[in-house]
Amino acid sequence: MGAVFQIRWYSLLYVGGFLVARYLLDRLSSEERFQFTKADTERLIFQLLLGTVVSARFFYCLIYDPSNFFSNPLYLFQVYKGGLSFHGALVGIIVTTILYSRKHHIPFWNLADALVLAAPTGLAMGRLGNFINGELYGRVSYVPWAMIFRDGGPEPRHPSQIYEFLLEGVTLFAFLWLAKSRLKKDGQIATLFLIGYSLCRFLAEFFREPDVQVGYLLFNLSMGQWLSVIMFIASMATAWFVWFRRQPQKAR
């Protein structure tokens, strides 16, 4: 019964994040700078939810737990055992957004800017779900706010889920919305999100216990940190192209 309870809590918050994101996208669709409508939000949000979950699960199995995946491909569908990857979810979101923007003739970067303004709410609620479930807990620590997690052994640990909630959720959300009025070129907000998330995640991973089947990798960094390094480099390269490319001249 305990496992069922955990899955329901996480699922509730995960879906709740998408509902909040949908509300924000509805608001953004009424702004002149964005070229999508409320009808687009209705159609896109379900596709994003599906693409996110499928890609996040596949990426987790392939990168974080390949031994179980290749020995038993049905492990992919055992979502009740947990295991979703944000970096995999990001790939799913990008692919879904590219396909949708092409089909409905919406500039990709314009739509991406709106999506990333809503994304931190989903990240925040997902981390709260992790905290309630007592999963993805932090490394052993004796700071005054350290906690003992049910599956984390007898020693107190960093509540790293709360750190990620504050960094990837609250801080990143506030930063992007403050920057929104100053960044006018399509793609600037999206690339700022990618850079900001990779930095926040890299920092938070110093306090988070690595996946037991992966452990520490080169330079004593976790898999999450190495994926964040790759994401940061790719984001900086993309940002250089987006921020400094010439805007197409309007026909006269």
Q: Which residues pair with 147 in a beta bridge?
A: 157
What is the domain extent for residue 27?
2-244
Is position 250 within any domain?
no
Decide if 117 contacts 180 (C-beta within 8 A). Answer: yes
Is position 109 within any domain?
yes
Nearest Cα residue to 89 out of 63, 69, 66, 68: 63
pLDDT of residue 104: 93
Is position 249 within any domain?
no
pTM for the model stands at 0.87
pLDDT of residue 9: 65
Is position 96 within any domain?
yes
Instruction: State the amino acid at position 212 in one-letter form.
Output: V
pLDDT in tens, the chain (252 residues): 444 444 556 667 877 888 898 899 999 999 999 999 999 998 998 898 888 888 888 888 888 888 888 888 888 887 766 677 888 889 999 999 999 999 999 999 999 999 999 999 989 988 988 898 888 899 999 999 999 999 899 999 999 999 999 999 999 999 999 999 999 899 999 999 999 999 999 999 999 999 888 889 999 999 999 999 999 999 999 999 898 875 554 443
Q: How many CA atoms lie within 13 A of 183 on its CB side?
A: 24
Is position 251 within any domain?
no
Nearest Cα residue to 145 out of 164, 160, 129, 132: 160
Is position 178 within any domain?
yes
Is position 209 within any domain?
yes
pLDDT tens, residue by residue, 96-146? 999 999 999 999 999 999 999 999 998 998 898 889 888 889 999 999 999
Decide if 155 contacts 125 (C-beta within 8 A). Answer: no
The pLDDT > 70 percentage for the chain reads 92
Q: How far is CA 51 from the centre of its chain?
A: 13
Nearest Cα residue to 194 out of 36, 86, 108, 106: 86
Number of domains in the chain: 1
**225 class by beta-carbon count within 10 Å (0-12 exposed, 13-18 middle, 19+ buried):** buried
Q: How far is CA 212 from the centre of its chain?
A: 21
Nearest Cα residue to 79 out of 134, 17, 138, 3: 3
Is position 82 within any domain?
yes
Decide if 160 contacts 209 (C-beta within 8 A). Answer: yes
Q: Which tokens in the block code for residue 127?
A: 């981390």
